[in-house]
Structure formats: structure tokens, C-alpha cells
Amino acid sequence: MKTRFAHLMILILFSLIPELGWGGELQLHPAFSSNMVLQREMPVNLFGSGKPGTTVSVTFAGQSRKTKVDEKGKWKVTLAPLKASSTPAVLIVKSGSDRLECQNVLVGDVWFCSGQSNMARPFSAFSQLKGTLNTLVKPLLRLYRTANVTATTPQDLPLIPTKKGQEGANTWQLCDTSALIKFSPIAYYFSAKVSDELQIPVGVFLSSWGATSAEAWTPQETLNSLNLGYTIRFAPDSWNQPSICYNSLIHPFLQMTFKGFLWYQGESNSQWAGQYKILFPAMILEWRKRFHAEDRPFYFVQIAPYNRIQWDISGEAWAWLRDSQTQTLKLVPKTGMTVLTDLGEFEDIHPQCKKEAGERLALFALRDAGKRLEPVSPMFKSFQIEGNRCKIEFDHAGSGLETRRVVMNKMKDQPIQKDPQAFVVEAGQLKGFTISGPDRKFVEANAAIVGGHVEVWNDAISSPVAVRYGWTNFPLCNLFSKAGLPVNPFRTDNFPIPILKEEKKQ
């Protein structure tokens, strides 16, 4: 009890520090430091604190801006759009006799990366990845990760970490082995692909926390406006309270200028999969509004196959969460979703195929930069019953569909896709489809690619009514576009979502 009280007092003390940080001597917001990347081709906000009433000047890349520190001790200037540059430059901030310098500053694209553990877990947590760090050093990449500290009210400054192990947080770092070992693989592989293809610097701004729900990342006012129909029962001292990550890990950076957003989360919301299609779009729209980034892309990763979900009595909870993620694409413009039905692990909620996932995610950014490629997985388009067969057509199928060999590990910490007990779907036969008759009971189906569409049937069902694809927590399916992207899981029906978790009697 004494330990918990002491911990609480430390959190209260640190929650006061940001308010004490405004005013006084000249400061840049901690989001800006040496080794950073500034966003190209957009107005760039730079801000900090100082003595009220004094003049602050900011000089960078031939531009000079002046402003007055307001009565709250805050200042902000906006640079005109900058051209991408890999030549290190110096940003100078002056006020009276005070002078600050940020050395080794580049200009390129800056991406805000957030979510739960599949975004947050560092290279050090992946046995098959951490040995590769020497080959991943890139001078044009710069890394920033926030310290994981929560707040019950929105903060203007990032909070000071209260635990060990967060060294290097809240400052820009070079992309070397010492920084990478503590950094997100999927965020790294995304940014490395973008940087290599576009030949520009990329800043990777990581603000994520494992095991967090989307509610933790959503402003309280937004949550209050939604009729979700459920209440998550958080432990009283949990870091995963509603809005608590938004307050400390999003709100301090709202004035920054980003190219766009990356998101990998959903596992912690799978018990409420049906409501995620309300919550997730609302969170995206609110982020864009508060970042003043309504036109910026928001790309996210669909949760990967996984089977150790002890509470799920349906065997479909993650399928329904994937369905809600898919519906977000229709509800929110300028979104994109990376499908990972071939990159999961049976017993590990943190699959190690982060390189493949990150590079697929990068396809969206490359397309938007003018590269001629298709980043979108084939999506269900239409459904037609012809006798005892169902004809399925797809959008984003490009030059056509094909089957591929899929291998997903069963055991943890095995070489990627080389577990002796791995689940294998061979390329010779199309798998992953189920079909139902009027009884709405889905059974395994035969399927074949016919021209540009797929035909699905089961000889025991003479009057089919619905087809589903990849509709389990750990789907074994192997339909791809010829460009190598897996077909998105889908259902042709509008049947109600089943009970996913049995509620305990009070």
C-alpha cells in the first residue's frame, strides 16, 4: 500500500512539471532538438517557452521569424514550406542574450506512429530481428520516441519519465544500433522503405504503448459524445484509462507538423469489436481536427492472425474486429489498411514479420508520392448466387488473382516462417472460404479462381445464402493479388455479431 501511495505521489509531482516549465528562460518544446527532421513542403510550426513579453527569433534555412512570448510564457513561429534536404543544417533560436541551437537538422517527411504493443515493442523484444541491427543503420532516418507517462488531464509538454529504461526518450536520435534496439521495427521498416525509395530524410515520431485500448488514445470529450454501449472495466491504477494516453502522448504534440499518421492497434478492443467501427473513425477524425491535419493520410495495420484468445467463445472476435477496421476505410477519407493474413503467429500476439508489414504499409506513402504501384489489398466488391455456386468479385485486384503458399509459425521465437510445426497452406488449392445455407451455419467451402472472379460452393448446400473468407481469429487462407497483397477478409452477409465473451454473473 505504501509503495502504491509513493508511486501515486511521484506521478502527481511529475504531472505538475509541465506547467512549471512554461515561462522563464528560453526553451524549445522537447519535440525539437538536434538530429531532428522537419516536415518538407508544408508550413512548419516551431514553438516553446520564454519570459512573457520578450521577443523570440528563429532562423533556419535562410528564413527568419520573430514573435513575442505571450502572457502564459509560450511562443510559436511558422516557417514557410521547406524543400527536402539531406544536408545537415542548424536551427537557431534567440531571445535577448539567450541562444539555443539545434544541430544536424534535416528536412524530409515526418510520420507520427502510434498504437499498442505491435507498434510499441522494440527490436530488443524480437529474437529474430535484434541480431540484424548492424545492417539497418541509416543516416537519413531520425528517431523520436515519447516516454510512457500518463496524465489525467491534457498536457502541453511531454511528461518526464518516472521509471528506468526510458533513456533516450523525448529527444531526436540518430538511427544507429543504440537507438534502434529500443525502437519499433514496424515504424523503422516503413520509414526505411519510404526514405530509400524517395531518397529523402524521414523522421519517425513514435508515441505508442502496449496493451492500450483505443479509448486511451481518444479525447474525453469525444468519448462522451459516442454511444458505445459498454464500459471497459479498467483497474484503478492502470495506465490504460480512457483518454490517458491522449492526454500525455498526443496532446503535447498537436502543434507539430506531420506528413501523416501510422496506427497499429485493435487487439485490446476485440471484446468490443462491433463498437470499434464507431470508436476508431471518431478517434481518427478527432486527431485530424486537433492536429489541424484534416488533409493528412492515416494508414493503419489490420490485426494479424492469432489464436490464443482465451475469453473468446465465438472463435471469431478478431474477425469481427478486422471487419470494423475494414469499415473504417469507407467511413473516413484518406485512410489505408495493410492486411496481414499471411504474417501471423499461432501462439504469439506479436508476430515477427515486421519487415514485411512495415514495407507493405510504406506502399501507401509511396503511391501518394507518385510511385506507380497498388498498395490496397483486393477488397470484396459483389456477390452473386448462380445455382449452388456463389460468384465473388473484387476491387483492387489489379492484373488478377492467384493463390500463394502461406506459412505461419505455431511456436514463439522460431525463425520467421520456419517453425517445424508451422501451419502451411499450399499454393495448389484455394483455401479460407466458408459458405452457409438458410440455416446460417457456415461450413468449409470449395473455391476456385475463374477468370477475374472467384467461385465458391459446397456440394452439400444447394441453396447458399452467404460466403465468408478468412473469418476466424487465425485464418488459413491464400488468395492474393498478382502484386503479392493478400485479399482482405470479408463476409457477404449482414448477420448480427455473436456473443464474443460470456459475461460473469454478478
Q: How many CB atoms are closer than 10 A to CB 446?
A: 15
**N residues, the chain:** 506
- Structure confidence at residue 233 (pLDDT): 72
- Structure confidence at residue 238 (pLDDT): 75
Buried/exposed code over 61-88 (b: 16+ C-beta within 10 A; e: otherwise)? beeeeebebeeebbbbbbbeebebbeee
- Structure confidence at residue 19 (pLDDT): 40
Q: From CA 71, how far away is CA 50, in angstroms rounded?
A: 10
- Structure confidence at residue 69 (pLDDT): 97
The domain locations on the chain are 2-105, 109-375, 380-491
Rg (CA), the chain: 24
Cβ–Cβ < 8 Å for 456, 482:
no
Q: From CA 349, how far away is CA 267, in angstroms rounded?
A: 9
- Structure confidence at residue 163 (pLDDT): 72
Residue 37: all three cell numbers together: 527532421
- As assigned by CATH, the class of the 109-375 domain is alpha beta
Cβ–Cβ < 8 Å for 277, 327:
yes
Alpha-carbon dihedral of residues 178, 179, 185, 188, nearest 10 degrees? -130
Residue 307: all three cell numbers together: 489464436
Cβ–Cβ < 8 Å for 445, 432:
no
Q: What is the pLDDT of residues 283-319, one digit of tens each?
A: 999 999 999 999 999 999 999 999 999 999 999 999 9
Q: From CA 34, how far away is CA 241, in angstroms rounded?
A: 33
Q: How many CB atoms are closer than 10 A to CB 139?
A: 14
Cβ–Cβ < 8 Å for 180, 123:
yes
- Structure confidence at residue 237 (pLDDT): 66
Provide the sign of the torsion angle of the four alpha carbons 359, 328, 349, 165, taken in this order.
positive
For residue 49, list its beta bridge partners: 27, 74
- Structure confidence at residue 161 (pLDDT): 77
Q: What is the pLDDT of residues 46-94, one digit of tens each?
A: 999 999 999 999 999 999 999 999 999 999 999 999 999 999 999 999 9
Residues 9, 14, 17: CA angle, nearest 5 degrees:
135
Q: What is the pLDDT of residues 360-384, one digit of tens each?
A: 999 999 999 999 999 999 999 999 9
- CATH code: domain 2-105 is 2.60.40
Q: Which residues of the chain have pLDDT under 50?
A: 1-20
Q: From CA 332, how far away is CA 395, in angstroms rounded?
A: 18
- Structure confidence at residue 504 (pLDDT): 67
